Structure formats: C-alpha cells, structure tokens
Structure 1
Amino acid sequence: MTTASEMHGRTAGDRQPAHSLGAAAAARSHWQLADIPYAQIDHGAVAHDEDMFYLLMSASFVETGSDTYAANLGAHYARYPDIQHWLQERWEHEELQHGESLRRYVEAVWPSFDWQKAYDSFFAEYSLLCTQEALLEDPRLEMVARCVVETGTTAYYHTLRALSQEPVLTELLGHIRNDEVGHFKHFLSYFKSLQAQEPVGRLRIAKALYSRLKELRESDSDVALRHVFANKGDLFADRQRSFDDVAQRIYHLISTGLPAQLAVQMLLKPMLLPPRLESCLHRPISRLACKMLAY
C-alpha cells in the first residue's frame, strides 16, 4: 500500500502557509474516536438490520482504503503545496478516521464477521482501481471530479443517518456527513482558485461532472458490497438472498432516500453558473442525480 510518506512532501525548512495554521487549529477541534460512546450501542436496534449491515460494512471498507487514494491524489497536486498539505494533513486523516470509527462500530455489532479477512479480499481488488491513471490529467477537472465524489459521500451518509434507528450510529454518521460537506467545500474552493488562474470551459467542466457521476455506481462501493456478501458466512443465512437481490435492494434503499435537493445544489456549484441558469438546470440535474448517485 502506498502511504502518505511516499508523496512529495514539504521540507522542514518550508514556511507553513497561513491556511495550514487554520487547518491545524481545525484538526485539534475535530471529533475523535474517543468521543463516540461505543459501549452505549443499542444492539437490539441494529444487529438484525441486514440492510444496515451491508451499508456500514461496505462504507468501512472504502474509507479504510482511502490512504492509497489520498497518496495518489497528493502526488497529483505536488505542484500545489497548499493543496497537497491539506490532502496529507487533513483529508487523508479524516477519511481514515471514518474507516476506523465505522470498523469499531460494525465489529461491536456483528463480532462474528471476520472484518480483516473480508477487507483484505476487498483491498486486493480495490487497490487496482486506485491508480494515478484513474485521475483526470487536468488538475482543475480533477477538483471537479472530487466535488462529485464528495457530493456522493455526503448524500450517502445523510441517507444512512436518516435510516439509522440506533443513537450511537446516528451520532457517528452525523460526524462523518459533516466532514464530507467540509471536504466538498475545500475541493470547491481549490477548484475556484485554480479556475481563476487559468479558466477551463463550462463544457469540459460538465463532461467531468457527468463522467465521474456515471462512475460512482460502478466503482468502489460495488466492489465493497460484493466482498461483504462473499464473506458474511452464516449472518442473515435465513434470508436466502442472492447477491443481485441484495445489491438491488441496497441501491433502491439509498436512491429513494437520497437528499436530491442537497445533491443537486452541490453538483451545480463547480459550474459557476449565473443564478437564473442554475435554477433552470435544477430539475433535469435532480432526475440525473437520483438515478446515478444511488450507491
């Protein structure tokens, strides 16, 4: 696995940007694993929820593998020290914290599931998808793509939080959702900064948005779900459902609970459209989002 230390980092003599000082302060106030009261989990409210089992396990896999993606993304922005520093010091750390917090939760609720074995099989496939070649060559357009991904994760955790019947899980998912909103705002801000230096046309932005939106359904979440199903053992054996049945139900559950209004507002931001034109595009983009943001 590629680690953050393998990325092009700053030297010890580099001056820390003012924005980095703000990031350090924010990191100190960020929620911690110790803030989550795992001992207070109401097992009866979640242990028999098969849908939540698949949703949470899949999310824990994807978030845990995020350091590989972060390493590639950091190297991609080596020419932009402020961006690279934030990716290394904040984004990667928070994504990995999401993975660890979700892992602790699912292992507490479903202890018979061999999480490490299932994750290892997932990562063997997932790591092949995390390559430099998968990133858009233009740094501006890759920022647009990141906005799409963060929109998807925000919508996903927003929906899971709404589905949750267990208080500790609801609290945890709220923290993660808020982090994803913060990540979206950072990526959008960096895109605007790069766009101001050397603008890229709206047609290319729209193509990047659509391309990454189309990939969401076909990428990491689907890989994770397959490996969770393949390793579930006797859990929910009484349901006797095929993987296709499980996947169809999970995708339907997420798509019907999708906060379309929120997702569309986020998706349109990188287009930097005049308010009137943005309003006209809201309805067609909303239909597209409901179809394509379903994990």
Structure 2
Amino acid sequence: MQTEPLHIMPWRIEDIDLNRIDRQRAAANENLLLLLCAASFIESGSDLYTSNLSVFFDGDPEISTWLNTEWEPEELQHGRALKAYIGHVWPEFDWDDAFEQFFAEYSKTCSFEDFEKTRALELAARCVVETGTATLYRAIRESSDEPVLREITDNIRTDEVRHYKHFLKYFRQYNKIEGNSRLAVLGALLRRVREIRNEDSEIALRHVLAARYPGHAHDPAYQRGRAAQVNAVVRRYMSADMCVKMLLKPLDLPAKIQPGIRYPLTKFTQHVLFR
C-alpha cells in the first residue's frame, strides 16, 4: 500500500541550540514572555482546529492532505518551540498544567459555527488569520533583542506567510467555482479581522497570568491591566501596511481601485490591532 511521503519541515526546533538563550536578557521582558506563552498555548491547540477544517473540507484530498501533513505539524512545532523557549527562561513555570487548564476552556469555543458559510469564504478568512499571526511574530521579533527568540520568531513568521499563500491559492480555486462577489469576500475578511484579537487570545493570556501570578488569578482588574501591558509590548511594531497588503490580495481589485479601499481598510485594521 502506497503511503504519503513524510513532510520535511522547513526548520526544526531540535536544530536550534536553546542553550544560546541569553536568559537574563529574555527574563528582563516579562510582558513579552507572557505574550509568548499565550501564543504557545494557541499554537499547541492547532490540532483541534485542523480536525475541524479537515471535516469542513472533507472530499477535497488536496486541501485535507496539506492541512494534516504540512500545516498542522508546522503549527504544532510553533507551539513546541515557544514552549521550549519559555522552559529555558522560566524553568519554574508549569507549562503543562497551565496549558491543560487553558485547553479545557478553549476546546469548548472551537466549533463549526465560527466558520464562514462557504469554503471559499472560509479560506479568505483563513488568509486573515495567517496575516495576523505573520504580523504578530514579525512584531515580536522586532521588539526583542534576544538572538534565539529572534531566530525562532523569524522562522515562525516565514511559515505563516507561506501558509497564507497556500490558503490564498485554495481560496482562488474555490472562488472560481462559487463566484462570490468582492463585497461577500470583503465581508468575510472584515469579520475575521474583528476576531484577530479574539476570545482565544484572551483565554490563553488569562490562564498564563493565573499560572504565573496565582495570587491574582481571580482579580479581573489586575488581569485587564497586565493584558494591556502585554499588548503594548509589540503594538508599536505591528505593521498595518503589511496587514492591508496581504488582505487586499483575496479581493483581486483593479490597481486604480486599490487606493480607494486601502485607506479605510488601513484605518479599520489599525483600530482593531492597535486599540
């Protein structure tokens, strides 16, 4: 029986010498570490989202195979890489227990109700998610002067951009079949942009904070204040221009029309990302 060839990972966390981490430099940025830990939780739960997407695209072997043999392993490696980094800087942090608490709540929020009504529109929405993560990891890299973290986040950002290109390709294939209007595609994009800073991120950061500062686990005011500090760490490095450039591609607008929509889309994205 013929089997699918194993996916060769573009990079491997096992090949990065984590002993090179400048722990003192890394530990000095507590809020950035909190953000990294929250990101590691979400990335480590990617297999749940993959299973939902695989069901949604049942009957399409090309997309299903890519999701299961390339996208999921790379997303899960992002989680392992960030977990390993946190483990070197915060060896006392019980990542596994905190993740278990997070996943118990997070898994209840993942449902098909969050998907778009058609495959093409869901693929357009996935382009938004990959745009958001690529922008986030670029901002993390720019905000840190710790060499190993910069290497890891640059690798992850490169993966996310490549994932975006795959989702964009599949969107174009399905949109030829479905014939969605640009207005329908724009609606899917804007709905998912609103969710870039969504419930997933809030749940993840809340469980990180509860594990790191158990004395404030039931203090909503403290958690809101720390969340604001965490978000502020990378906010000035977030690129709305990069986001908008990637978001415009699914719309496939004529060049003369793009300036007219670029400005309001940039303002909307800035409001969501930087508020």
TM over 0.5: yes
Aligned residue pairs, count = 271
Q: Report what 2:39 is aligned to.
A: 59
Q: What is the identity, as a one-letter code, of the residue corresponding to 1:161?
A: R
- Residues 40-119 of structure 1 correspond to what in structure 2 (within 5 A)? 40-119=20-99
The two structures have a TM-score, normalised by structure 2, of: 0.93
CA-to-aligned-CA distance 1:76-123 (integer Å, 9 cap, x gap): 101211011100000000000000111011011001111111111111
Whether contact under 8 Å (2:143, 2:234) holds in the other structure is no
Q: Report what 1:164 is aligned to.
A: 144
Candidates 221, 228, 233, aligned match of 2:208: 228
1:134 aligns with 2:117: no
- Cα 1:165–1:126, aligned 2, differ >3 Å: closer, same or farther? same
Could you say what secondary structure the match of 1:31 adopts?
coil
Whether contact under 8 Å (2:9, 2:74) holds in the other structure is no
Candidates 132, 154, 161, aligned match of 1:174: 154
CA-to-aligned-CA distance 1:47-85 (integer Å, 9 cap, x gap): 121111111100110000110001100111012110111
The two structures have a TM-score, normalised by structure 1, of: 0.87
Instruction: For residue 288 of structure 1, report the CA deviation from its aligned partner.
Output: 1.3
Candidates 245, 248, 251, aligned match of 2:228: 248
- Cα 1:29–1:59, aligned 2, differ >3 Å: closer, same or farther? closer
Show structure 2 runs of 5+ residues with no match: none
1:205 aligns with 2:185: yes
Whether contact under 8 Å (1:113, 1:233) holds in the other structure is no
| Distance in structure 1 (CA, Å) of the matches to 2:106 and 2:71 | 19
Could you say what secondary structure the match of 1:170 adopts?
helix
Whether contact under 8 Å (1:38, 1:168) holds in the other structure is yes
Candidates 93, 97, 105, aligned match of 1:125: 105
Q: Report what 2:167 is aligned to.
A: 187
Q: Report what 1:5 is aligned to.
A: none
Whether contact under 8 Å (2:143, 2:233) holds in the other structure is no
Give the root-mean-square deviation of aligned CA atoms: 2.0
Q: What is the identity, as a one-letter code, of the residue corresponding to 1:213?
A: V
Whether contact under 8 Å (2:140, 2:153) holds in the other structure is yes
| Distance in structure 1 (CA, Å) of the matches to 2:177 and 2:8 | 32
Instruction: For residue 280 of structure 1, report the CA deviation from its aligned partner.
Output: 2.1
Whether contact under 8 Å (2:41, 2:204) holds in the other structure is yes
Q: What is the identity, as a one-letter code, of the residue corresponding to 1:173?
A: T
Poorly superposed stretches of 4+, deviation over 6 Å: none
